[in-house]
Structure 1
């Protein structure tokens, strides 16, 4: 069976997808006899699959018919560029269950809290003590269903031997980290938050080769945050040595879960929650060029510095107050439908460092961070981060490394359309910053 494909992506992304398709072809083959084969689209092909970069990871189900014969698979880079995620989207296009048994292990099965708005389960297994929602590889039944659907045979053309040359794929090793946060876990105060007790686990992280690695929350019973520190982590000074922090995933910002690790550096990965006094299970998926090494540590395992074991830091809070009114500019914000009042605020920092940005309001706020420029007519351009409810009381919170020579624009808006109200913004860090309202010329 030939599946025709077309790409609207860069060379490295195309190479990654092709490698994943080749892996699918070999796993579905019977005794290495080819069953399905992906090939480039020809001008005469009526039905085909297109790949493009966009919001999240998605695919229509089944063959597109009628006027829409192009089946578009959307893969946000690099967040969706994990073998099993691409397999999941491709299987949406390729196969039917064909009366096979219910398969909890299927790469097509969603996790217990899939599409939940409040992190409560949306799917419950009838079979007790069963796990589901994995994104590691096709299951036995996944492979069987493709073989049945396309009448695969053990006779025919065999696949050529695997080449041993290096691949351009940047994410060829997937590692998982699964554990639980309990009331017996160690606790700390979340960076740039003034109060609350947050349970955490800390892991020393090393990589054998410099490169980009992706950290994704693949399964969790609660909303999980991961925070990366360089050299040391100090529970009583959690803003010191902080490099990057991510809470959950804004679905259109999965690319922000990648980080460039250097092999000569020591990193500490801290797993916690976005709200205080929360416990629960979690699983993280880490993908990279080589296997990442983890070693769990506790507060007594911290390597002393040459000055003092627990450095203290003085933080400054820079505040800005505003109101979203019916006279505020409106736009169609990312990830939703409708018009939203917003204000654009320029953030200028005197020194390159990590800063926390939080909102405080009686309304449900949403925040987006842009670099260099914000264009309300092209809301994905220059977007570097975004958040909905990482803070208490439906407020947004973001932690980002700001560079002193860069221009940053914080867009403050709301979760629901056409909501008005007062909002206060606080930027917390080792230096005071300047916040200035910007006038955006809407096209």
Structure 2
């Protein structure tokens, strides 16, 4: 069959309204209107039936720009006239709604995890609304469940307004696990009826919003992450539209686009039913700063049962009030922290262990966030990521009340030998017997 009609483009690449550049995908709707994924111009063009000039409906040059594209390669228009775009260069799928575009798939960067894609080329839907994506660079086809969107005809009602501010007393974290640090506030979210809800943040601090399922771990900010949003130069600086279950706890985290920014912010929660917002993170309330150092005379042990020896210092820890405490290090060494309940046995470094952290996503310094109880002995062990490293360190402890630290050591000569000599199987057995006898005396 010979082509006798050009319906879009002039045959010469360009960015004018009647031109396209390296088109990769098309969609024709029931009105014979043509949608073109105009890869080379980073936009989606609509050519209405019989028209040679296109209208930019998505991309930075559209009349009402709400999203930036990078080489779109596929497009679908559903029965409700919502657009779904394969944003290939950004390795994501975006969709339109009543309030503009939002990310649907691949919202946390390019990769090979189950929630990530890499340079997708096309998409399709099945009869149940599931999205199938040609995940080009991962050499696979991904299937994603697509729930009925929040863009229904039910009007949303303001259910809660949460106002607060970020100050230099807020908790800090490395938002993208990079060098820069950011103040943040976490807010527990509960709803009394399952459904779609919207959280819209604004303020003088240029806020960045994240929402998590069950809990938020500042040392692994991608864990449990459901969605995030940031929109510079907008009255609504982040907008999270999401389906929430009534029997689930969610954590909304507000931070900033720029490092160490402070100021006021507010969140408007919209939905059909009541939304409960309660502050979750506690302000930094430093109760103790403990300076010390690891030297060549510090005791050594085989951290995590590894062969190299590591210098360490063990500190007996007591709190006066049950609550959430944060213990962290500042040092010129890459510090590793462990906290134990009741006792610490360097020959069995996993026994009684409650929590450990080796400086991941915290610039090489340990950070332990843990609930501690009164009338309980805890042992904080400070050591290093690499063997036989010495140097100064300080331990900072923030929490609801006073904290006491004192050196914890094994006094018997036999125990000292167990701790400081390279263990053989026979020595380990002897030391274990000695430890058992001590408990029985």
TM over 0.5: no
Structure with greater strand share of residues: 2
* TM-score, with structure 1 as normaliser: 0.38
Structure number with the bigger relative contact order (C-alpha 8 A, sep ≥ 6) is 1
Which is greater in Rg? 2
